[in-house]
Every structure is written in structure tokens, then in C-alpha cells.
Structure 1
């Protein structure tokens, strides 16, 4: 691996996976970028999980950002799902309902991407 490739890999690890800021990079700039990326990620999850985000109100971005620290992004659907499951009993009621709806309609094992559950035509009309 070239030096440039190794530096790029270290920078990406710092930006999205919680690794230390690599030598030779401006720490303040990298930390500001990490903060911006976490806010963006929280916004994307809020778009996909509106009741989850709304349940936390103004605390959503800092709460999600703290959870996301050291966790690489897996897409907004999975990130929201993982966050909600991690919150466990502290998950607000409206967010708990949203999680229950997702778990009714999708299968998700925490490792691979969520997939819609296959159901017969009649089950779609029985809600």
C-alpha cells in the first residue's frame, strides 16, 4: 500500500470509525469535519426515522452523534434501527412504535441489510 493510500485510509477511519486523527493532519479541522459528518448522518437518520428523531427533540443530534462515535455508517435505515435497538427500554414510546412497525415489515439481524418480509396478498390488508 502506498503512503498516500495509507494516509487516506487512516483519515477515513478517523472521520467515520472513531480512530485517532492521523499524524500530519490538522486536528481541529478533522474534528470539525467529524462533527459535521455526524450531524449530517443524524439528519439522514431523522429523515428515515422521523418519530425516532422527533422523540428526542433538540437532543436528537447530540444523542445520536454520541451513539455514532466509533460506529461506521451503515446507511440511514440500519443506523436508525441499530440506534433504536441500542436504546432499549429508554426508547421513547413513539420511537418504540416506529421500531415495532419496522420489525413487523422487515427482517433485520443486525449484520446484513434489512429486507422486506414476504407476505401473502391478504396479510397486507389486515392491519
Structure 2
């Protein structure tokens, strides 16, 4: 029995943004080209949210981010940039380290839940406990 439409769509999305194998019945070259275009678009969105991070990589930004994003589903440009910067560790350029430090000071982000402004962090924590 062939998979239903919902299963096919789920498999296609996983291939496009999650790095899964191209599902049977889809043009592999087309899916891979679309995956590449979506990663470039995602890099552009992150660059608008994290301009110093992107600028610190110069012409290598799009490729560096796309390589990192491979196999990682999008979490929004704020979180994607944050996770990319944290994953770079000691290799993060100085300009990007400054931008990351400013975000760390302004927001609480545990790498799992959406970032919360520090002024709202205590309220957020109370709600999660309550």
C-alpha cells in the first residue's frame, strides 16, 4: 500500500528542511535544489536578525550557515542565529561574539524554548512552574 498524501508531505518536508532522504516518487534533483534554495533563504533571514554575526563571516556566511543548518529544522531566525553562534564556540569571530553577548544579556535562552526578554524571564519561569 502506498503512503497517503499526509505521509508524502511529511516526508517531503523532512527532506527539504530536516535533511532526510528524498522520498520515493519525487524528483531528487528538484528536491535537492529546493533544499539548497531554502537554506540560502534561511541564511538571509538569520542575517537580517543577526547582522554582526553574518557580517563577521563575510562572503562565507551563506555557505557556513547552510552547512550548519543541514539536518536542522528551522526554529526561527532569532533561535537559528543564536544556536549557530553558540555552536561555533571559540571559533566565533569577535564581532559575532559581541552580538551574542548582547543577546545573552537581553534575553534568557536555554536552547530549547523560545528566548524571553530578561525583564519577562521571572514571569515566564513562574508560569512554567505553576
Helix, strand or coil for the counterpart of 2:119?
A: coil
2:28, 2:67 → 1: CA distance?
19
Q: 1 CA distance for matches of 2:94 and 2:60?
A: 16
Match of 1:118 in 2: 119
Cα distance in structure 2, aligned partners of 1:48 and 1:30: 27
Give, in whole Å, the separation in 1 of the partners of 2:93 and 2:10: 37
Counterpart in the other structure of 1:37? 38
Deviation string 1:33-68 (CA, Å, 9 cap, x unpaired) is 000000000000000000000000000000000000
Task: Report the number of matched residues.
Answer: 118
CA RMSD in angstroms, aligned pairs only: 0.9
**Which residue is 1:67 aligned to?**
68
SS in 2 for 1:118: helix
1:25, CA displacement in angstroms?
0.2
1:1-127 equivalent positions in 2, closer than 5 A: 3-118=4-119
Unaligned runs of 5+ in 2: 121-130
C-alpha displacement at 1:90, in angstroms? Answer: 0.2
Give the TM-score taking structure 1 as reference length.
Answer: 0.91
Q: Deviations over 1:53-110 (max 9, x none)?
A: 0000000000000000000000000000000000000000000000000000000000
Q: Find the aligned partners of 1:41 and 1:65 in 2 and give their Cα distance.
A: 8
Distance of 2:38 and 2:100 partners within structure 1: 24
Deviation of 1:118 after TM superposition, in Å, equals 1.1
Query: TM-score by structure 2 length?
Result: 0.89
